[in-house]
A and B are shown apart, each in its own frame.
Chain A
Amino acid sequence: MSHRLSGRPLHQDRHELHGITVVLDTRSAGTYVGRFDSQDERGVHLFDVGVFDPAQGTRDEYVRRSVKFGIRVDRPGLTIESAEVARITPLGEIEL
């Protein structure tokens, strides 16, 4: 019996962004970076979420820092109402 582990799609029934680290911008100028889990009637569910703090610099600086050094996790999980979501961008698509 062969064990083909690598490349096996384990979550075929999930949202296309499931498991992907994304930058989520809200309509109220919030920015979160975290691993997309799912979206339902309660909103978008993220895991291992970094929360942009404007006191630490600009949003773009925060995102660039996350691309280069990874995500400092501020919250283990977070749900953002779908109506609040302005934009979702995979972090891996952001060029430094």
Chain B
Amino acid sequence: MPYNSALVAPMREEMVRMGAQELTTVPQVDAALGDQKGSMLVFVNSVCGCAAGNARPALRLALQHSVKPQQVVTVFAGQDLDATSRARQYFADYQPSSPSIALLRDGEIVHFVHRHMIEGRSPQLIAGELTKAFEKYYGVAV
């Protein structure tokens, strides 16, 4: 059962403040991820304080880097169930976890950050790994 919407509202707002587009419905997911062009980061948000509590600020830090994805979108696991399920169909090779982060380029997943790569790590460390991936996969104009 999803958490109370009032509880998760600040977690949604945190994503929107850093420029992410929320995808809360299946059509929104399909519009964003179907026939995706250029570079895109998909953040699977989560209520979990242990991991998501570090992942969101890590992403905020990483998005201040000079090289970053052209578009950032987010779905909320455990909240927007259909939208999250649909988004995960685009990552079918990867087992679901939340929070998690997928980097896409022209519809292909080029890098995936699972929950276990976030747990127990500081936002700075996670951001450092993310910016390395940005440089590796988005370092040239797409």
Contacts and interface: CB of A to CB of B under 8 A. Distances in A.
Contacts, number: 67
B93 A10 contact: no
29 contacts: A5-B11, A5-B14, A5-B49, A5-B53, A6-B52, A6-B56, A10-B50, A10-B53, A19-B48, A19-B50, A19-B51, A20-B119, A21-B116, A69-B93, A69-B95, A70-B96, A70-B97, A70-B100, A70-B112, A70-B116, A71-B116, A72-B95, A73-B95, A90-B116, A90-B119, A92-B116, A92-B117, A92-B119, A92-B120
Interface of A is mostly: loop
Contacts of B118: 92
Of the listed residues B11, B100, B116, the one surrounded by the most CB atoms of chain A closer than 10 A to its CB is: B116
Contacts of B74: none
B94 A11 contact: no
Interface of B: 10-11, 14, 48-54, 56-57, 93-97, 100, 112, 114-121, 123
Contact of B119 (A5, A8, A21, A70): A21
A71 B11 CA distance: 25
B11 A7 contact: no
Contacts of B114: 70
A72 B117 CA distance: 16
Interface in A1-58: 3, 5-11, 18-21
A52 to B, nearest CB: 15
A90 B96 contact: no
A9 B54 CA distance: 10
Contacts of A73: 95
Of the listed residues A21, A69, A90, the one surrounded by the most CB atoms of chain B closer than 10 A to its CB is: A21
Contacts of A6: 14, 52-54, 56-57, 123
Contacts of B116: 20-21, 67, 70-71, 90-92
